[in-house]
Amino acid sequence: MKITRLSWALCVSALIGLSAQAQEQQPNFLIIMADDLGYSDIGSYGGEIDTPNLDALANEGLRLTNFHTAPTCSPTRSMLLSGTDSHIAGLGNMAELMQPFQQGQPGYEGYLNQRVANLGEVLQNAGYSTYTTGKWHLGRSEELSPAQRGFDHSYILVQGGASHFDDMTAIISVDPKAIYREDGKQVEVPKGFFSSEFYTDKLIDYIENDRQSGKPFFGLLSYTAPHWPLHAPDEWLQKYEGRYAAGYEAVRQQRLAEMKELDLIAADVQPHEPMQGVLPSWDQLTDNQKKREARSMEVYAAMVDNMDHHIGRLFDYLKETGQYDNTFILFLSDNGADGNSPLGLPGNDVWINETFDNSLENMGRKGSYIDYGAQWAQVGSTPRPYFKGLTTQGGVQVPAIIRHASVKHPGGINREIMHVMDIMPTFLKLAGIEHPAPEFKGRPVEPMQGISIIPALQGEALPERVIGWELFGRKALRKGDWKLSWMTAPYGKGAWQMFNLADDPTETKDLAQANPDKLAELLKDWDNYAKRNNVLEGDFNIRYGFETCLFEQCFK
């Protein structure tokens, strides 16, 4: 057959069309995860903190108002990367707080185990370039690092948190030095390091250095902001001076009004504040206490604002290089706002007081180690009860924004029930990749438990299903509008409670006794969940997350 110029042009045109189609079928994937960000902190979710880049993302994409994670960070990350329950993926409990009855049991390895094929390695195996920067918290050794789990390039903090400056101080007295790994090898951070800026720079470098390969990429940018210790550069701290002098109650009411205006919550919803009357209110604080509390929130807000700034730099890079519109972008927090004190971690009460300069003048600067306390965390959870570490909605319901061509109504709000386990199946569906279960690279792997949320992005309903939680012996189960909950006192009754979240989104009306048939149904669902995921029962002997104090007044 003679190839004419016209036929050659048609062939080239067809190939270009196929290439464009393949590019459309295999988008880039970018996950941006904040660490301990509260549900109502950013502007598009009702907050007063300046977050113009995330707010623009919400205007171009879709805000998810019913998106769930685990109650704490590493279990969430294991589910994000595996598409299955944390008790299957190896983080049935956080490694640092593993209890004797859990140690050595399957699903309680304390790291992302080999029973799951994680998102990075599955996408890498299918031809994606894969990168992660920031917090890992899924294994400490080189063998358990991203370099060995499917990521072409990585620069990660192995622990759950660290100083955001270059002093490389970690967050627990018994493990005081931060450990960083680049492509698996242990490294020291450079002078002038600030976490949010550096992790963003590294991810941009990784994407840019491989851009000519023509391969789609998967990037996981896992900030350590705004996890304590709360730190921010001086110019960001100055911006928020005086912003929180009115106190907890005033900020909460401001956020609540804005959330109603944005149609994030119904007009009749009121905040559920279970610690009210036990922890001191703003008016009960001394002038010095008010100054310290206000300063803590100023530092926190500065961290979030600074993080948003660097997210904007990443978006600018993707736009300048023509990659923005073909990138599925997900922004989320890894759990609810954190009202747990670092003083509850082993040895920290003495270590923090003796090692750090937490004077009012140095709060938020290098050499300080502060958190922002339970009352500000409860503001971050507005209007829902409690925060990180608990299986209430305040602990597991988080802000989440998706921008992608599959979103049918950009700028809208979606209220379908979603879970962090759903991200991997969604990505694989969009990329046209089959999950490898029951075997991957010669080892048996578990199937995913999450579902694709693409129908919801296109305005359709998702099927009703059962979703369970367990951490620190606290338990919950969601089935449609119904929620089952069990927590020890003072956070719960030490007995099963049941709520209808459609009518009672802040978990104030226990319907367990009034609706015994529904309770029996959900208890059977719980037993099935616990058996399927090898959820172990036992006594917990930890201080962190089991008492909540503010200026010597404790809810415990």
Q: Which stretch of DSSP H or E encloses residue 271?
A: none
pLDDT value at 207 more than 90: yes
Quick one: tokens of 205? 């470098």
Of 68, 73, 87, 153, the active-site residue reads: 73
Reading phi first (left if > 0) and then psi (alpha if -120 to 50, else beta), residue 266 is in: beta
Query: Residues 74-102: what's their mean pLDDT?
Result: 98
Which residues, 6 or more positions from 256, have their beta carbon under 8 angstroms from its beta carbon?
46, 265, 269, 270, 271, 382, 383
C-beta atoms surrounding 443 within 10 Å: 11
Mean pLDDT of 391-414: 97
Alpha carbons 287 and 145: distance in angstroms, whole number = 47
* Whether 549 is catalytic: no
Instruction: Quote the crossing angle between the two packed helices 373-380 and 287-320, to the nearest 10°.
Output: 40
CB within 8 A of 512, min separation 6: which ones? 495, 496, 497, 498, 519
Tell me how far CA of residue 83 lies from CA of 16, 109, 426, in angstroms.
Answer: 34, 17, 9
Q: How many Cβ atoms sit within 10 Å of the Cβ of residue 526?
A: 21
Assess whether 73 carries a catalytic annotation: yes
Classify 463 as helix, strand or coil: coil
Q: Which residues pair with 170 in a beta bridge?
A: 162
**Mean pLDDT in residue range 385-390:** 98
pLDDT at 205 over 60: yes
Structural tokens at position 38: 């509260």
Number of neighbours of residue 16 by Cβ within 10 angstroms = 10
Assess whether pLDDT exceeds 90 at residue 9. Answer: no
Q: CA–CA separation, 436 vs 448, rounded Å?
A: 10
- Tell me what pLDDT residue 25 has: 66
% pLDDT > 70, the chain: 96
Name every residue whose Cβ is closer than 8 Å to that of residue 320 and which is 6 or more positions away in sequence.
none
The structure tokens listed for 470 are 């367990």
Q: Are 172 and 345 in contact (CB under 8 A)?
A: yes
Residues with Cβ within 8 Å of 176's Cβ and at least 6 positions away in sequence, in order, are 169, 170, 351
396: DSSP letter:
H
Of 477, 548, 529, residue with least CA distance to 68: 477
SS3 content of the chain, % helix, strand, coil (to 5): 35, 20, 45
Query: What's the mean per-residue pLDDT of the chain?
Result: 95
The band of 24, judged by pLDDT with boundaries at 50, 70 and 90, is low
Please state whether beta strands 180-182 and 185-187 pair in parallel, antiparallel, or not at all (unpaired): antiparallel
Assigned token pair, 127: 């031809």
DSSP label of 542? -
Averaged over 329-339, what is the pLDDT? 98
* From 137, 227, 231, 310, active-site residue: 137
Which tens digit of pLDDT belongs to each residue from 255-307? 999 999 999 999 999 999 999 999 999 999 999 999 999 999 999 999 999 99
**Which pair of tokens denotes residue 519?**
């309770």
DSSP track, 143-169:
GGSGGGTT-SEEEEE-SS-B-SSTT-E
Tens-digit pLDDT profile for residues 488-510: 999 999 999 999 999 999 999 99
Residues in CB range of 213: below 8 A, 6 or more apart = 129
Q: Which residues of 90-105 are buried (b: 16+ CB within 10 A; e: fewer)?
A: bbbbbbbbbbeebeee
Asked if 26 and 216 touch (Cβ cutoff 8 Å), the reply is: yes
Residue 36: what are its φ and ψ, rounded to 5°? 75, 25
Q: Domains in the chain, please, with CATH?
A: 5-555 (3.40.720.10)
pLDDT computed for residue 556 by the predictor: 84
Query: Does position 23 have pLDDT exceeding 60, yes or no?
Result: no
Helix (H) or strand (E) holding 202: helix 195-209
Per-residue pLDDT of 154-200, as tens digits, reads 999 999 999 999 999 999 999 999 999 999 999 999 999 999 999 99
Residue 279 DSSP one-character state: B
Token pair 């049941």: residue: 498
What is the C-alpha to C-alpha distance for residues 322 and 326, in angstroms, rounded to an integer?
8
The most distant pair of C-alpha atoms in the chain lies apart, rounded to whole Å, by 91
pTM for this prediction: 0.95
Report the pLDDT value the prediction gives residue 472, as an integer from 0 to 100.
97
Dihedral, 481, 484, 489, 493 alpha carbons, nearest 10 = 100
Q: Residue 110 burial (CB < 10 Å; 0-12/13-18/19+)?
A: buried
